[in-house]
Every structure is written in structure tokens, then in C-alpha cells.
Amino acid sequence: MEKLIFSISLLLLLLDGCYGGKVGVCYGRSADDLPTPAKVVQLIKQHNIKYVRIYDYNSQVLKAFANTSIELMIGVPNSDLKPFSQFQSNADTWLKNSVLPYYPTTKITYITVGAESTDDPHTNASSFVVPAMQNVLTALKKVGLSRRIKVSTTLSLGVLSRSFPPSAGAFNSSYAYFLRPMLEFLAENQSPFMVDLYPYYAYRDSPNNVSLDYVLFESSSEVIDPNTGLLYKNMFDAQVDALYYALTALNFRTIKIMVTETGWPTKGSPKEKGAASPDNAETYNSNIIRHTVTNQGTPSKPGEAMDVYIFSLFNENRKTGLDSERNWGLFYPDQTSVYQLDFTGKNGGFRSNSSGGNSRGRSESWCIASSKASEIELRGALDWACGPGNVDCTAIQPSQPCFQPDTLVSHASFVFNSYFQQNGGTDVACSFGGVGVKVNKDPSYDKCVYITAGGNNTKATNASALNSSASTSRGNESLVWNLSLCLVILLLFSLQTTNSQAL
């Protein structure tokens, strides 16, 4: 029996790593024109959304999600933190009257106690968070639900005093009174560190210093962390890793990060017009979904699954502030889509325009080295592409299909094109300091095949020498590895169970 119990415990522990990243949606209701909760649930089911975050515990909403199998994250608003922290009986009564009547018919899996409490300048909300979390957890323990419903709180990136380079990530010391006990609570109860991340704001507030492509997951270049040598192709990963390094600096290495809000607005005030648009929103959200479901992880934690919630289901016309605050919605109040989004991530993260092509403009073009470039320029660009640029340069090595002719221009042309195609086929991706040239004629020759958009080749002799985008490749490999690991675990568990029963 002891062996059987051990086997089950081991299975549950290991299976936690067998599931891919989950994509959810935030269902905010600060609006006076939204459809009824029942209609909202039908919309969510129609679009195959399986994870939803709400910001309170509205009874009509909880009822609407009954018998749907949609996993729900509910919230204790900041206004409830003080009474929840003062008396255990308040948390007990709340759980009894506002949660248990709907559970487990409504599948509640997380409770967020407070939301971005450190950003509230008018109250001392953050001082109440940890005691309130503890009382909510105690209430759950009393009814035997502390393992089924996880308790945490959501924070903004403002809890960091430094976020760049990622390896220098550090928490703001002014929040130490709150953060350390909160992190101890999360580590002890295996709850996630919940954070709301918005690369949009970094670009909006500093467009001259931050590349739009970098925040949209479309960058053809990389930002190097000088302390670790890790390469970052998007700001989201850099922000997540900054949090992981900050956690590590305080010796909290086992806490996992969950992104409880991220997204992009479709409309903004005059100062936001260069950033807030349906096109950018579609690009960002499509790419973050693909990034999540393929388990790409981050440069410091490649292949590690992380759950992400897109903000938000609807535009919320009662919110104050700039126009963007009211225009983050994926759907209009009439339940039509603001833009098309595939929550499965199976479309590779790229959206299609009305003509059926990719809206980022990938076309049948190639990138080659300029015959007018100097040897020093070509050598420098070639070395960079085969190194930090992550291009697989096997095909230009001796005895490989693209080694001949053994000239710098020929080798650089093949490598330039590989980088160009793997990084969006944009003008920037064919720059190489001015020594790259875009052409419309296929440079392929003999058995040396220059890949086209998407990295597709027709000749097997060269296909083995090339990689697709490095980040996508890592994500796919980790997904295959995870699935293989799960199969092995299940097999071992089955054998162990059989042996235990025989004993």
C-alpha cells in the first residue's frame, strides 16, 4: 500500500509538468452595454475558450458558468481586503455564502485576493493582502478545498525596481514589508506568482527607444542580456525573466509565474494613435497565444509552460483615463469580433488579411549578399548570423550542399536568406548593416536550396541542414519532450500499480 501511495504521489507531481501553457481571457464588466452573463458564456464556448478570469464573485456570473467545465478564476476586490484580513469569520462567511453554493458545478480553480494592490495610491490595500490570503486559505482548508482551489494575488510589473537587463531584475525594496510574506505564502502553498504584464505601455511611453516589432513578437533582431548572454526577441519574455531573476535573488526558486493580464488596445487617445490599433492588437494577441500553447518558455526557462490570460473579453465603456482604457476588448457588445483570433494557436500566430495572404507581407522574395560589400563587412555579418543570429550554418560547411562555390559572397547569401526567412521576411531582416539585398529570383542552385517564407524546402538533401525559427523549434521540441515524458510516467505508474497490487 505504501508503494501505491508513493506511486500516486509521484504521478501527480510529475504530471504537473506534462500540460502545456493555458490561454485564458479576462471577463471585465466595467461597462453598461454588455450582454447577459448567460450570453457571454455561450460566446466563450463558441470560441473554445476554456479559462476565464473575473474580478469579483458576482452570483449571476457564477451561475452562468455552471456545468460548462470552463475553469474560473474569481477575485476578492481590494475593497474587501481589510474585513477579510481582520476576522477569520468574514472569510468563512464569504466562502459559505458566495462561493460554495456554486461549487463544484461552477469549476472555480483560483481565488485572487486583491488586484494590483501596490498600485493603489489612495489606500493601504497591500498591507491587508497576506492576512486576507491566509484567512481565505484557512476557510478553504475547513471545507477540504485548499488543494483544489489555489489562492494568490495579482500584481503589476511596478513591483520591480529594475527590469532591464532581465538578469538584474529586482523587487522594489519599498514593498519588502508585503512581498516577502506574500512570497513565503506562495512557496509554502505552491501557488503561482500572478502578474499583469503590458509591453504595450513600454512602447506607447517610449516609442523612440522601444521597437514596435520587439513588443509585438515580430522582431528580426535580438536584445542581448550582457550578464547572461541570453538573447531576447520580444519584451514579454524579458519582463517575465526579470521577475524570475527577482524571485531567485530572494531565494524563491520554486514559485512559478502566471500572467493574469496581457493584451493590446484597439483604439487610443491622440498620443496613442501610433500604438493602439486593431492590427497591432491582433498581431500581439495572436503571437502571445502561439508563444504560450507551444511552450516556448523564455530564454532563462526554455520550454517551461506558463499560463496567460488575455485582457479583455469586451471593451469597458465605464473605465476612466485615456481612450485605450476603454478599448481592450476582443468582442463588441453585440458579440461580433473586433478582429479574428484563434485561441488554439494552431494558425501559427499569423493572421490573414482579406486577400488570404499574411498581413505582415511575407512574399516570394529572398535575401542575398551584395556583391559590392567588402570582405570585412560580409565576414562580420556572416559571423553574427551564424552566432547570435541563431542561423544553422551547417549547409555551407565542407561536403555540405551549399559549400560550393567556396566564396564569402555565396556563403553569406545563403546564411542571409536563412535569417531573413526565419525572421519575418522584412526589410530589416535583410539589412545586415547595408550588405543584404532583397531579390525576387530564387538563388537556389544544384542541391543548395534557399528556403522561402515559412522555411519550406522541396529537396530533402538540404532540408536536414536548415532549422526553422529557433524559438518555434525550441517550443515544438519541448512539447514533444513533454508528451514523451508523460507517456513514460504513465507507463511506469501503470507498472508500479500492478506490482503494488500483486504484493
pLDDT tens for 303-336 read 888 999 999 999 998 998 888 899 999 999 888 9
For residue 71, indicate whether it is catalytic.
no
Is residue 427 classed as helix, strand or coil in its secondary structure? coil
User: How many Cα neighbours within 13 Å face the side chain of 54?
Assistant: 22
* pLDDT value, residue 400: 92
**pLDDT, tens digit (0-9, with 9 covering 90-100), for 253-264:** 999 999 999 999
Q: What is the mean pLDDT of residues 287-303?
A: 90
- Cβ neighbors of 413 (< 8 A, separation 6 or more) are 367, 368, 369, 443
* pLDDT value, residue 34: 94
* pLDDT value, residue 346: 61
Q: What is the mean pLDDT of residues 206-211?
A: 85
Residue predicted with more confidence, 389 or 472:
389
* pLDDT value, residue 344: 75
Distances (CA, A) of 262 to 22, 192, 206, 441: 13, 16, 19, 41
Q: What is the mean pLDDT of residues 47-64?
A: 95
* pLDDT value, residue 372: 85
Is the model's pLDDT at 501 over the cut of 90? Answer: no
Is the model's pLDDT at 426 over the cut of 60? Answer: yes
> Could you tell me the sign of the dihedral formed by the alpha carbons of 490, 494, 495, 500, in that order?
positive
Distances (CA, A) of 136 to 61, 87, 145, 333, 436: 21, 10, 11, 34, 60
> Could you tell me the sign of the dihedral formed by the alpha carbons of 195, 201, 206, 211, in that order?
positive
* pLDDT value, residue 453: 66
d(CA 458, CA 462) in angstroms, rounded, equals 9
For residue 261, indicate whether it is catalytic.
yes
User: Nearest Cα to 76, choosing from 106, 115, 39?
Assistant: 115
- CATH 3.20.20.80 applies to domain 20-331: yes
pTM: 0.70
- Kindly report each contact of residues 8-13 with a partner whose C-beta sits within 8 Å and lies 24 or more positions away, as own/partner: 8/493, 10/493, 11/489, 11/490, 11/493
Q: What is the mean pLDDT of residues 497-502?
A: 46
* pLDDT value, residue 470: 35
Q: What is the mean pLDDT of residues 390-417?
A: 91
d(CA 231, CA 223) in angstroms, rounded, equals 6
Mean of the per-residue pLDDT values of the chain: 83
Catalytic-labelled residue, pool 116, 272, 304, 316: 116
Q: What are the residue ranges spanned by the domains of the chain? A: 20-331, 366-439
Catalytic-labelled residue, pool 71, 261, 272, 282: 261
* pLDDT value, residue 356: 33
**pLDDT, tens digit (0-9, with 9 covering 90-100), for 3-54:** 444 444 444 444 444 556 899 999 999 999 999 999 999 999 999 899 999 9
Residue bearing cell 511575407: 362
* pLDDT value, residue 422: 82
**pLDDT, tens digit (0-9, with 9 covering 90-100), for 146-174:** 999 999 999 999 999 999 899 999 999 98
